[in-house]
Amino acid sequence: MLVMQAAVAIGDAQKLAEMIGQDPGFDVNMDHGGVFTLLHHACQGDSRSAVIPLLLAHPDIDVNVKNKIGSTSFYYACYGRPSCVREMLKDSRVKVNEPAKNGHTPLWIAAYDGHLYVIKWWIASGREMDLGKPGDGRTDAIGAAKEWRTTGVVTLLERFKQNPEETRHAVRLELGWYDEAAAEMFAIVVFVSDGLLQIKETTIPSPAGKFFSIAAQLPLELQMVLCYRVVRSPKEIIPGKESEAAFKALAERLLWCSLFTSLEPWREEARREPGVECVCSLFELAHYIKINRLGWISSRDVSWLKSRSLPAASCAA
């Protein structure tokens, strides 16, 4: 466990994945000294955020598990770790307003300490945000920010309280959220087009299934435009930086899901909502990543994956 914690501490997702693969008795929810699970550790520094998608992909992960002092991993991420918060907010299972044992909520902590960008990414995500009961010293986020004179946080939260949609739009523009959201969708469309992902039969009749079926047949430029329209942006060309980051993130997620699928069949209750699924092997995915110059997997890594003779993944993206 200590060696795994060391891999988390330096944000080495690949090393952590290798160690998990070599430990058939690995318990992703096990704590260390009754204080932190690996996900708790990962949420305690932005330099560690790279391992969060790996841990969230594990079929047995309890994303809301509390340690002995009654705090979730997301609660710790709100102590000024915006990159960790961003990764956690992408997982719909995370209870973002879950209070700690002392009654303080994650938003109260972020407001109290003046972590403006934690709150901005939270607003941009569209996830629910409980501002707390006015005058309540444990939940009133605006009151906490006023008490400690974190003016930027006070202004932002008061704007959000008065006009959530207008504030969210302004924050999304400031953070480049529209480019990132469109890029994430575009990456899935491209993977469907390239045959790495396929639309599940149960999803085909749904709006999402129809969207990906149609989008996969369009020229590249129209795919980008369509993805922008879905996130309500008038833009047309996804910037290369955001596009490459989205490709890498999706490929990485599929690699982790494939690895865990090969180690132990996914339990039905652990599956995500059905959508598209990976239909290639770990080696095929790694080879695709390498030839497309995503730049984060070496020839040694490809050889290691090939030697494991892993089957095709069955995880939902």
The answer to whether residues 116 and 181 belong to one domain is no
Angle CA 197–202–206, to nearest 5: 90
pLDDT at 268 over 50: no
The answer to whether residues 246 and 271 belong to one domain is yes
The answer to whether residues 142 and 213 belong to one domain is no
User: Per-residue confidence at 225, pLDDT binned at 50, 70, 90?
Assistant: very high
The whole-number average pLDDT for the span 274-292 is: 67
The DSSP bridge partners found for residue 316 are: 277
User: Per-residue confidence at 273, pLDDT binned at 50, 70, 90?
Assistant: very low
pLDDT of residue 148: 85
pLDDT of residue 301: 57
Angle CA 262–20–273, to nearest 5: 50
What percentage of the chain has pLDDT greater than the value 70? 82
pLDDT of residue 303: 59
Sequence-distant (6+) residues with CB within 8 A of 263 are: 20, 21, 24
Residue 147 has a CB neighbour count (10 Å cut-off) of: 13
pLDDT of residue 219: 95
pLDDT of residue 204: 80
User: Per-residue confidence at 264, pLDDT binned at 50, 70, 90?
Assistant: very low
Sequence-distant (6+) residues with CB within 8 A of 85 are: 74, 77, 78, 118, 121, 122
- Across 65-69, 73-77, 153-157, least confident range: 65-69
The whole-number average pLDDT for the span 68-97 is: 95
pLDDT of residue 35: 77
Q: Which two tokens stand for residue 283?
A: 């080696």
Q: Which of 42, 65, 95 is the endpoint of a domain?
A: 95
- SS3 label, residue 10: coil
Average pLDDT across the chain, whole number: 85
The answer to whether residues 31 and 122 belong to one domain is no
**Strand intervals (E) in 172-285:** 197-199, 276-278
Residue 87, judged by CB atoms within 10 A of its CB (0-12, 13-18, 19+), counts as: buried
pLDDT at 270 over 80: no
The answer to whether residues 184 and 302 belong to one domain is yes
Side-chain half-sphere of 15: how many Cα atoms within 13 Å? 12
* Alpha carbon of residue 271 to chain centroid: 16
Q: Which of 175, 208, 228 is the endpoint of a domain?
A: 175
Q: Does 314 map to a domain?
A: no
- The dihedral through the CA atoms of 154, 108, 76, 267 has a sign that is negative
Residue scoring higher pLDDT (52 or 251): 52
Q: Does 316 map to a domain?
A: no
pLDDT at 244 over 90: no
Q: Which of 52, 74, 95 is the endpoint of a domain?
A: 95
**DSSP-assigned letter for residue 270:** G
CA–CA dist 1, 32 (Å, integer): 8
The answer to whether residues 169 and 201 belong to one domain is no
**Strand intervals (E) in the chain:** 197-199, 276-278
Max Cα separation, the chain? 60
276-278 and 197-199 beta bridge pairing: antiparallel
The DSSP bridge partners found for residue 32 are: 36
**CATH code at 68?**
1.25.40.20
One-letter amino acid of 218: L
pLDDT of residue 311: 41
Tally of structural domains, the chain: 3
The answer to whether residues 122 and 221 belong to one domain is no
Angle CA 168–41–115, to nearest 5: 30
pLDDT of residue 111: 97
Q: Does 67 map to a domain?
A: yes
User: Per-residue confidence at 306, pLDDT binned at 50, 70, 90?
Assistant: low
The answer to whether residues 202 and 266 belong to one domain is yes
Domain range for 217 is 177-307
φ, ψ for residue 295, nearest 5 deg: 75, 20
**Which range scores top for mean pLDDT: 9-18, 52-61, 218-227?**
218-227
Q: Does 312 map to a domain?
A: no
The answer to whether residues 138 and 195 belong to one domain is no
The answer to whether residues 184 and 296 belong to one domain is yes
The answer to whether residues 37 and 134 belong to one domain is no
Q: Does 58 map to a domain?
A: yes
- Across 123-127, 230-234, 254-258, least confident range: 254-258
